[in-house]
Amino acid sequence: MSTLNYQISGNGTPVILIHGLFGNLDNLRTLANALTDHQVIRVDVPNHGLSPHWQKMDYPSLAQAMTQLLDELSIDSAHFMGHSMGGKIAMAAALLNPQYVKSLVIADIAPVSYNPRHQLVFAALNQLDLKNLRSRSQALTELLNSGIDEGTAQFLLKNLQNDDAGFSWKMNLAGLQACYDKLIGWDLSDDNLPANELPSNKISTELSYTGPSLCIRGGDSDYVKAEHSAQFLQQFPAIQAKTLAGTGHWLHAQKPAIFNRLVSDFIASND
C-alpha cells in the first residue's frame, strides 16, 4: 500500500498520533507540541488529508498501514495515541501487532461496534454542490442549513480545498461512506489483505494487548459507557481510565491543557 502522509517533529521515543473520522493530522497538533521530549509522528489516515484514497478500509488494514509506516521510518516501536476512529486504529494495531506498541492511549472510543450516527453529516456533505460553490462561507451556510452545528461544520470544512479547478474535498468522501459500516464496527477478522501479509494471530477471537493502556473519555460523551468495561478489560487487561468532566467527544480540543498533561504523563511513565 502507498505511504501515508505524515509529519514528524521533535526528538526522543516515537509517538504516533492518529486522528478521527473526517479529520486530518492537524487535529492533534496541540498535543504534538506538548510532547516536547518525544519524536511525534502525526498521520493522515487513508481517505483523509493527503494520504492515499482506499476503496476498502477496515481496522486490520488500517492498523497494518500504521505499522508499515513505522517500518518505513526504521522505528521498532512507538507509543500509540488515537482519538475516536484513530483510537480504534491504535487498538487494532496493539491487538494485531503488539510488538510495535510501547503503550496505548485511547481518546473517547471503545473496542465495540456502534450504531450509525453520521448519517446527517454524510447527507449534508453530499448535498453541497461543489461545482457551483463560490466561497467557504457559502459552504458553511449550506451545512448549517442542513442541520449541522457550527463547530462540526467548521471542523468538516477543514477538508475543503480550492484551486484553479474549483472546490473539492481532500478526503475521499465516497470511500468513507462505502466503508462506514467497517469503521463503526469492530471486526478484526475481516480480510482485505493477502493471506501472506496477515499477522499470524489475526484469526484469533480472543486477542488481547497486555501492555500499558489508558482510555480518556469525555464526561458528557456517550461513546464510552460503563457497559463497555468488560470489553475493555477482556482486550486490554492493563487498561486505566480517566474522565474529563465538562467535555464531550472533542475532549482534546475542549480541555487541551488537562488532556495533553494526562497523555504526556502516561507516555512518560511508560517510556
What are the catalytic residues?
A: 84, 249
Task: Give the span between the Cα atoms of 60 and 62, in whole angstroms.
Answer: 6
User: Which grid coordinates belong to 29?
Assistant: 497538533
As given in the structure block, the three cell numbers for residue 139 are 459552504
- How far apart are alpha carbons 77 and 66 in whole angstroms? 11
The answer to whether 49 touches 73, Cβ cutoff 8 Å, is no
Distance, in Å, from the CA atom of 209 to the CA atom of 126, rounded to the nearest integer, reads 39
> Looking at beta carbons, which pairs linking 185-188 to residues 24 or more positions away fall under 8 Å?
185/113, 185/114, 186/59, 186/88, 186/111, 186/112, 186/113, 187/58, 187/59, 187/113, 188/59, 188/60, 188/92, 188/95, 188/96
